[in-house]
Amino acid sequence: MIRAALLSLALLCPAGAFAQFAPAPAPAPLPVMDCAALAGSPMVEATLYFGRNVGDAVGVSEKDWTQFLDREITPRFPDGLTIHDALGHWRDSGTGRLIREPSKILTLLTPQDAASLTLIREIVDLYKEQFHQQSVGTVLRPACVGF
């Protein structure tokens, strides 16, 4: 019975009526950026999110942060970086509570090499250890950078 109904429907509808249900064609691939044409070079944009709470209170003061920056981050990336103050929140995996805390967002532009990624990992590990943090959010993106 279902087969007969489908056959009747197919005979009543013009062939083009089903075209709207065909899968969309795949989008064209994005063009590859030519960094040289932009007077730039391929790099990695690293964004690190440093929470400042220790427990339920701010445990990483501005002085603590500045000392960490001066001792650990700047010597590893002396060519420059950008820091933003932020207010973040995240869910504590142990308690399920939503935690709100002041944060620092660090942006680095580094060469695409293993040595730079190792330096980033060192910063993350040192911050977690020194300030008793569960994590440091880390985002790495390929970038075409020119100055």
Report if residue 130 sits inside a domain.
yes
Domain membership of residue 107 (yes or no) is yes
What pLDDT, in 10s, does the model give residues 84-137? 999 998 888 888 989 899 999 999 999 999 999 999 999 999 999 999 998 999
The model's pTM: 0.74
- For residues 124 and 137, give the distance between their C-alpha atoms in angstroms, rounded to a whole number: 9
In angstroms, the Cα distances linking 13 to 17, 20, 114 are 6, 13, 61
Residue 112 placed within a domain: yes
Tens digit of pLDDT for each residue in 24-53? 566 565 455 678 777 788 999 999 999 999
134 part of a folded domain: yes
Q: Where does the pLDDT of residue 72 fall: very low under 50, low under 70, confident under 90, or very high at 90 and above?
A: very high
Tally the domains of the chain: 1
Q: Is residue 9 part of a domain?
A: no
Q: Could you list the residue range(s) of the whole structural domain that residue 98 is in?
A: 37-145
| Positive/negative CA dihedral, 12, 16, 20, 26 | positive
The verdict on residue 25 lying in a domain is no
- Residue 138 domain flag: yes
Higher pLDDT, 17 or 63: 63
47 part of a folded domain: yes
